[in-house]
Chain A
């Protein structure tokens, strides 16, 4: 199992595509950090959990796209042709799917770490600030549900039709344009700019209202459920 995971990671992460994606991500990250995050959001410091969350929200569309691109390694016509060989091995399809999802998730996590690492370097260089511990909660809140959902939904869609994965990549942009209710404001990044202003104190500590937390938990659960559904789905007749 470990070996398959290693090989899948190698396929996904050791290629020009991943390097290109990482470079684009870092360049865009630098742009966001230098143009937006540096000003701080809602009167808070650029390195406050709120500003950092806002930065991650802005990076999320690219991470989402990256995550779905990893899935195209499994859903492309070329990959389907190779799957003819894999399907005849004794490896249980469910386990195999889990390993592949884990590899894709590793890719997503690596990209996320790159984003966070870039922010950490930025904070260190610009403000000599190294209190990264306070940023973990917003990072988990923003990234984990979104990435798991991207994986679960993308996996299922990719099994239906390869091109659906590409269409699915546009979702964050659509969400950004939609006037979402407050509980869903984490999905288009407005939460981090709007919520701290309602707390009535200067430099408030990071807090998540129950509604938004529930929305993220639901997103995570749905993502996991989709993943389970996609992984265990028995192959149909070809």
Chain B
């Protein structure tokens, strides 16, 4: 084929141009933007900061640069009038295809170079949690595939308009759309994929799959658009439509263009990742479904088979109900919108069922009519790719042989309108997992292995009481720590072992739990005997339930553990994050008010200081805590807006909020600990303060407003706000 013969020539010509090398060099450099300027991934995991952001920024800049290079290169032939010569020998269509292929080959070369250059830098920045697979996938998907998209879009713009200036405007507008209006729409932001976080310790297949889907959707779309623009390439002195009419005579060409566009449209519409939940989060219609009359819950079993390669779930669920109404009853279940339901049987007979199109809070409604028999055993099968609700925070439904989290209806259909029986909602869940994964029910129950299979999988079983339930499983390391009179089961990702050991995590857990239990009392959500501390995949925060507490991996990254604002060293940040189990979870603090320094951080930083003082001595604690607080507070009081609040008030509301938020950080992390430190001296020393804090931790809660307030703290200290004024 002529194109194949011309391709090496065209590529050589392209690579002889200095501009090409300039664009390539700039693209290779551009990931640096993600380290300093453009940081779309907001999470603080190492991979978000040092892999996702550079790769996305590099992809964005590279696509724009290569788009401009494409326009320049396509226009060059016209500008230098060499097209008159080449068109006489080769069809302009062949030339266009050859040029496109050469430009695409240049993008491949650039991606290869970029990956080579950034490999040691990324490995150095990311540290122990760096893996080659994450690196390759992130750079290929976030950066690599952006470049051909830029080339295709720019080439199409030029081939339609045949004017460099107009093409540049169109191309830049197309890029700007992705960076602004489409930025929050994960399927439309072709340039800058919607990635908010990459996990350091667990896999990121879900995020990678979603970005790959978006990229391929756009590749198909832009390849289709390019093919149409290819048909519009001016020939025989005709205009755009005349040339198009001429080019479509070879029928396969428009057919290919339309097929590409149709495939892209289908990929857009049939994406499997996100559900269509009602965006109005105030609507909770599923909770208003009336209970089925005379039906009570007896028992539930579920066998769940995650396919860790495909990221899908297959399961069988069986429900036993007592129906004393003597009538058929409609039972509602919440199911994950990605699941298909089949084989629904009541007492062995097929029964009809419907699944609603309407979705709410990541659930669709499955309605089943059970017969008018007293004992009803309802069985069903479900399978599919679990879907998520938040396009801008994807990754929660990660499912791989390193990690999975199946919550409520993603684990098995969740019954919604059946009253609990005498034993509540007893359930027995079995899940079959690869042998390296530990199953960790989020709660007080323990999972045990009941079968080991020849294919290297193991079946875990646990009991649970509740209509839903959350199960974590992953490649975890479990450390049992005796502390505070109970056993702490500390689970953290295997990849995080080096970081956790460097931060002396086990010691920190023990110190903190011992110290806090002794000084403030046992954790309210511990069972008294055991407490699971589970490091979760990055999720935007932690939470707790009876017997288990979740620690977000983002709080334990090497970078965060080196954050001096929270403590002097890695181990101290570990202590800080663990102290949050006492001061920060559950009902302890209301959402923080940016105008006030009172928040979970004040007491947490203060307690950290106390523990560090006990561990490393007074001098160390003073230098790294009290003196640092004092310096930050001094800086705070010198701040222009603090001294001249009238100027802050002049600013637009959003700007005001951003500035006061950053100032309130200082107040929460430094001013408040210093105030508590001052209070400690005013109430008569550390012991007296410990008494007060013990009292506050174990106070009787007001169900209307269960949160600990500053006023309560002051009253407990018998001090006024003025007493604690600094300065």
Contact = CB atoms under 8 A, between A and B. Distances in A.
A39 interface: yes
A130 interface: no
B640 A43 contact: yes
A128 B649 CA distance: 12
B640 A44 contact: yes
Contact of B650 (A34, A40, A126): A126
Interface in B302-358: none
B18 interface: yes
Contacts, number: 30
B644 A45 contact: yes
Contacts of B18: 163
A103 B85 CA distance: 39
Contacts of B659: 38-39
B650 A43 contact: no
B687 interface: no
Contacts of A163: 18
A166 interface: yes
Interface residues of A, number: 15
A126 B640 contact: no
Contacts of A132: none
Contacts of A166: 22
Interface residues of B, number: 17
A43 B639 contact: yes
Contacts of B256: none
Nearest to B659: A39
Contact of A43 (B635, B647, B651): B635
A3 to B, nearest CB: 28
Contacts of A237: none
B655 interface: yes
Contact of A46 (B638, B640, B643, B652): B640
B109 to A, nearest CB: 21
B185 interface: no
A43 B655 contact: no
A16 interface: yes
A127 interface: yes
B165 interface: yes
A174 interface: no
A45 B651 contact: no
Contacts of B651: 38, 126
Interface in B539-580: none
Nearest to A45: B640
Contacts of B655: 34, 38, 126
Contacts of A16: 165
Nearest to A129: B647
Which of B635, B650, B662 lies at the interface centre, i.e. has the most chain A CB atoms within 10 A of its CB? B650
Which of B644, B647, B650 lies at the interface centre, i.e. has the most chain A CB atoms within 10 A of its CB? B647
Interface in B660-691: 662
Contacts of A127: 647, 650
Interface in B1-29: 18, 22
Contacts of B165: 16
A228 B638 CA distance: 48
A127 B640 CA distance: 13
A40 B22 contact: no
A98 B643 CA distance: 50
Interface string A24-35: 000000000010
A202 interface: yes
Contacts of B22: 166
A39 B651 CA distance: 11
A163 B18 CA distance: 9
A127 B646 CA distance: 9
Contacts of A43: 635, 638-640
Contacts of B638: 43, 202
Interface string A43-56: 11110000000000
Nearest to B647: A127
Contacts of B641: 40
A66 to B, nearest CB: 17
Contacts of A39: 659, 662
Given A38-B655, A38-B659, A43-B639, A128 B644 contact: no
Nearest to B652: A126
Contact of B640 (A34, A40, A128): A40
A230 B641 CA distance: 49
B323 to A, nearest CB: 63
Interface in A124-183: 126-128, 163, 166
A117 B652 CA distance: 20
A229 to B, nearest CB: 27
A126 to B, nearest CB: 6
Contacts of A45: 640, 644, 647
A38 B663 CA distance: 13
Interface string A1-35: 00000000000000010000000000000000010
Contacts of B640: 40, 43-46
Nearest to B663: A39
A126 B643 CA distance: 17
A128 B662 CA distance: 23
A62 to B, nearest CB: 13
Interface string B22-50: 10000000000000000000000000000
Nearest to B650: A127
A40 B659 CA distance: 11
A46 to B, nearest CB: 7
A39 B641 CA distance: 8
B88 to A, nearest CB: 26
A39 B165 CA distance: 38
A127 B655 CA distance: 12
A34 B654 CA distance: 11
A126 B639 CA distance: 18
Contacts of B652: 126
Which of A43, A45, A163, A166 lies at the interface centre, i.e. has the most chain B CB atoms within 10 A of its CB? A43
Contacts of B650: 126-128
A44 B640 CA distance: 6
A217 to B, nearest CB: 31
A128 B646 CA distance: 12
Q: 3 closest Cβ contacts across the A-B interface?
A: A43-B638, A40-B640, A45-B640
28 contacts: A16-B165, A34-B655, A38-B651, A38-B655, A38-B659, A39-B659, A39-B662, A40-B639, A40-B640, A40-B641, A43-B635, A43-B638, A43-B639, A43-B640, A44-B640, A45-B640, A45-B644, A45-B647, A46-B640, A126-B650, A126-B651, A126-B655, A127-B647, A127-B650, A128-B650, A163-B18, A202-B638, A202-B643
Given A40-B640, A127-B650, 19 more contacts: A16-B165, A38-B655, A40-B639, A40-B641, A43-B635, A43-B638, A43-B639, A44-B640, A45-B640, A45-B647, A46-B640, A126-B650, A126-B651, A126-B652, A126-B655, A127-B647, A163-B18, A166-B22, A202-B643
Interface of A: 16, 34, 38-40, 43-46, 126-128, 163, 166, 202
